[in-house]
Amino acid sequence: MGSELKVPTMAELFASGQQPEVLFWVGCAGSFDDRAKKITKAFIKILNKANVSFAVLGTEESCTGDPAKRAGNEFLFQMQAMTNIEVMNSYEIKKVVTACPHCFNTIKNEYPGLGGTYEVVHHTQFLKQLLEDGKITLEGGKFKGKRITYHDPCYLGRANNVYEAPRELIQKLDAELVEMKNCRKKGLCCGAGGAQMFKEPEKGDKDVNIERTEQAMETSPQIIAAACPFCNTMMTDGVKNKEKEASVAVMDIAELIAGAEDL
């Protein structure tokens, strides 16, 4: 692995009188889940490479409350939200980027009503902007000609109408983007949302992630691209279930970009 990651925290910058342009909201999965931590690091590498002025909250960050809210615990959600808002407002944060569509949705849509109004972007939108501003370049062609299918996270796609930014990034890799039969507005859930990630599924014929993995497999992909740590887990499990992990990789868009740059 290359050079050390530079991960400034808000507290450090604040102490030295600096204000970063953007807060990277890492999220619980990005902080604690072994698979998702790799996505976090890939994204940090890109931020470092592009010299983005950013910081993380580190130990001052706490769950956005999304899973509590979708589970029906509005009380716990608002406790979390108000605590986080207090922290973010104390640092006078204006812009937030996150690699988790659930954090993205919650901070963007549900925090303003509780006193936290920020410009919130998903990391795929942020990366697309870096590319357009020439802060990063994509050559190399490590993924050139690779068949990549993209799985729309519900909370990025249907919930917030972000369909194109991740797709444009994949196309910039000179990869062959193949669509599943259910995509964009009709994208099928991976099965993790609505707090399902944290419980056993109800009785049925099949798990949702298996159904979605089968749809992905129909496109004979070499890579399944995801843009959400939870979708990533679900699809990875699905690929393992199909015993296809040797030939099909599940990767986050940030990992694709970082990989193409050989970071």
Partner 1 sequence: MEYLPNILFALLLVAGIGYFARNVKRLSRNIKLGKRVDVSDNTSQRWKNMARIALGQNKMVVRPIAGFLHIIVYVGFVIINIEVLEIILDGLLGTHRLFGFLGGFYNVLIGSFEILAFLVIVAVVIFWVRRNAIRLQRFVKPEMKGWPKKDGNWILYIELILMFLFLTMNAADYQLQLKGAAHYANEAGIIGAFPVSGFMAPLLEDMSIANLIIVERAAWWLHIMGILFFLNYLYYSKHLHILLAFPNTYYGSLKPKGQFKNLESVTNEVKLMMDPEADPFAAPADDAPDPEKFGASDVSDLSWVQLLNAYTCTECGRCTSECPANQTGKKLSPRKIMMDTRDRLEEVGKNIDANNGSFVADDKQLLDDYISREELWACTSCNACVEACPVSIDPLSIIMDMRQYLVMEQSAAPSDLNNMMGNIENNGAPWPFNQMDRLNWAQES
* Ramachandran angles phi, psi of 188, nearest 5°: -90, 135
Residues 86-145 that bind partner 1 (CB under 8 A): 105, 108-110, 113-114
Query: Among 20, 65, 116, 229, which residue interacts with partner 1 (rule: CB under 8 A)?
Result: 65
| DSSP label of 44 | H
Alpha carbons 182 and 60: distance in angstroms, whole number = 39
Q: Does 262 bind partner 1 (CB under 8 A)?
A: no
Helices (H) and strands (E) in the chain, counts: 11, 8
Q: Cβ of residue 43: shortest distance to partner 1, in angstroms?
A: 12
For residues 6-28, b (16+ Cβ closer than 10 Å) or e, as one string?
Answer: ebbbbeebeeeeeebebbbbbbb
Q: Cβ of residue 94: shortest distance to partner 1, in angstroms?
A: 20
Residue 41: count of CB within 10 angstroms of its CB: 18
Q: Cβ of residue 219: shortest distance to partner 1, in angstroms?
A: 18
**Which span (119-127, 164-172, 207-215, 253-261) binds partner 1, by CB under 8 A?**
207-215
Q: Which residue lies nearer to partner 1 by CB, 131 or 197?
A: 197
Residues 2-21 that bind partner 1 (CB under 8 A): 5, 7, 9
Q: Which residue lies nearer to partner 1 by CB, 144 or 240?
A: 240
Q: Does 76 bind partner 1 (CB under 8 A)?
A: yes
Contact (Cβ atoms closer than 8 angstroms) between residue 68 and residue 53: no
Site size for partner 1, by CB under 8 A? 73
Tokens of 110: 């549900």
Burial of 162 (0-12, 13-18, 19+ CB in 10 A): buried
Q: Which residue lies nearer to partner 1 by CB, 92 or 202?
A: 202
Q: Does 188 bind partner 1 (CB under 8 A)?
A: yes
Query: Among 20, 116, 191, 221, which residue interacts with partner 1 (rule: CB under 8 A)?
Result: 191
Query: Among 48, 49, 73, 244, which residue interacts with partner 1 (rule: CB under 8 A)?
Result: 73
Query: Among 12, 74, 119, 132, which residue interacts with partner 1 (rule: CB under 8 A)?
Result: 74
Q: Measured in Å, how far apart are the chain's first and last C-alpha atoms? A: 8
Contact (Cβ atoms closer than 8 angstroms) between residue 82 and residue 48: no
- Would you give the binding string for partner 1 spanning residues 24-63, x where CB under 8 A is met? --x-x-xxxx---x--xx--x-----------x-xx-xxx
**Which span (46-54, 122-130, 168-176, 200-208) binds partner 1, by CB under 8 A?**
200-208
Alpha carbons 194 and 164: distance in angstroms, whole number = 24
**Crossing angle between the packed helical segments 253-260 and 123-132, to the nearest 10 degrees:** 30
